[in-house]
Amino acid sequence: MRSLRTEFGSVFIVLFILIILLATFIAYNFIRSERALERLLKQNTPIVNASVHMMAALVDLESSQLLMKTRFDSTIYYRFHSHRDQFLRWYEEAQKYSVLPIETSYLDSIITIYRTYLHDTEYYINLAGYNNPSTDLFYMSHILPAEEQLRILTLKLLEVNQDEIIQTNQEIREIVGAESIIATISLVAFAVLIVIAFNIQLTHYF
């Protein structure tokens, strides 16, 4: 029969191994969850925020252009340029945090269309300023389609990052769930081993 010291030693070696394994698992999942949160906070959320502001700037640009057709003054012109610069600032913000190839593709398309849009808009402003009869036709054939393209692309950029946020949240929930299960199993194992150790002590005592 093995000595009491040997049996106790075996039990505590197993306990020690379980503790090491649990600590390793928790550390690994902590790193995973930290990276997921970092991706969420430093990449996806800023691009979602930038996309929303780009959409808002497009709405304001369209509103300013429509006002130009009814009355043209320096206030409306100033508002248009303010919204134009606002869109560019938020575009640069989205570009700064873009990582995925699909994000880069959308952003490249957006800036290409936006440059043409701005060029056409300057011409449209000249037409509106002189009450040119072709103002409405030019707006419908050039300005409106470009705005629609920009809106669709910006919305797609927004949706890509919203999907990434959903996936990241799911990943974090899975990590937390796995940790809870492993922690529960480990606690049960610890309890069982402690009971075994106690029984060993009682057996040798009696």
Where does the pLDDT of residue 25 fall: very low under 50, low under 70, confident under 90, or very high at 90 and above? low
Task: Compute the average pLDDT of residues 36-41.
Answer: 55
pTM: 0.68
pLDDT mean over 16-26: 65
CB-based contact 79:108 (threshold 8 Å): no
13 vs 136: CA distance, rounded Å: 84
HSE-CB of 12 using CA atoms within 13 angstroms: 8
DSSP state of 72: -
Is the CB of residue 53 less than 8 Å from the CB of residue 157? no
Coil, strand or helix at 100: coil
* Position with higher pLDDT, 47 vs 165: 47
Contact 94, 47 (CB under 8 A): yes
